[in-house]
């Protein structure tokens, strides 16, 4: 019930780490002469978010779970859309504007499968990867970003904890 997701030959890499993301390495990892299309997605830190100037972003992860969850997301998306190979990585630690926080490379025989898989992976990452970011601003303040409540994969949403829910959005900037 708590065993890691079954390994899949389609997932050549799924990692959550403080290492900088190298786009060409990801592309090379999935490239194969049987495939006709590669789609790479990079999410990058923006200088501006909701009208505030961002100086840096700190990513915190539940590392052991995030790696397993990222592998599961990649495997499920690849199987759903028929992609052949995926390499996906998510950064932790401090990032500056312009740096990549997430990188997803997908290879497939045809482009439609590659695009659909890529999009699916990033949407699921935002929905359920146990990763959190805290923005630091030019005025010296910082704040954890408002996030997406996770609907438990194993059943219904865990929902607000009884009697303890703070006001909605209290952890916003």
d(CA 109, CA 73): 20
80 binds a second copy (CB under 8 A): no
Chosen residue from 2, 6, 48, 51 binding other proteins by CB under 8 A: 2
Handedness of CA 85, 13, 119, 20 (dihedral sign): negative
Residue in 57, 40, 14, 5 with CA at minimum distance from that of residue 173 = 57
Pairing of strands 85-91, 93-95: unpaired
Residues in region 106-125 near a second copy by CB under 8 A: 109, 111, 114-115, 118-119, 122
14 binds other proteins (CB under 8 A): no
Read off the tokens for 156.
Answer: 């219904």
80-119 footprint of other proteins as x/- string (CB under 8 A): ----------x----------xx-----------------
> Could you say which of other proteins, a second copy, none residue 133 binds, taking C-beta under 5 to 8 angstroms by partner kind?
other proteins
d(CA 62, CA 60): 7
How many CA atoms lie less than 13 Å away from 120 in the CB half-sphere? 20
Question: Which of 1-9, 31-39, 64-72, 78-86 is the region at the interface with a second copy (rule: CB under 8 A)?
Answer: 31-39
Q: Is the separation of the CB atoms in 170 and 143 below 8 Å?
A: no
> Could you say which of other proteins, a second copy, none residue 119 binds, taking C-beta under 5 to 8 angstroms by partner kind?
a second copy
What is the binding site for a second copy (CB under 8 A)? 22-24, 27, 31-48, 97-98, 100, 109, 111, 114-115, 118-119, 122
């Amino acid at each position: 019930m708590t065993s890691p997701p079954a390994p899949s030959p389609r997932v050549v890499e799924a990692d959550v780490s403080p290492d900088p993301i190298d786009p060409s390495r990801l592309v090379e990892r999935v490239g194969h002469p049987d495939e006709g299309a590669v789609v790479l997605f990079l999410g990058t830190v923006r200088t501006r978010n909701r009208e505030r100037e961002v100086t840096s972003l700190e990513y915190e992860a539940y590392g052991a779970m995030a790696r397993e969850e990222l592998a599961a997301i990649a495997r499920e998306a690849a199987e759903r859309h028929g992609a052949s190979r995926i390499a996906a990585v998510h950064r932790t630690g401090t990032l500056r504007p312009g740096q990549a926080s997430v990188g997803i490379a997908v290879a497939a025989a045809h482009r439609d499968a590659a695009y659909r898989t890529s999009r699916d992976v990033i949407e699921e990452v935002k929905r359920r990867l146990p990763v959190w970011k805290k923005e630091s601003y030019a005025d010296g303040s910082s704040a954890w970003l408002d996030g997406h409540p996770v609907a438990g994969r194993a059943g219904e949403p865990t929902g607000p904890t009884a009697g303890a829910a703070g006001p909605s959005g209290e952890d916003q900037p």
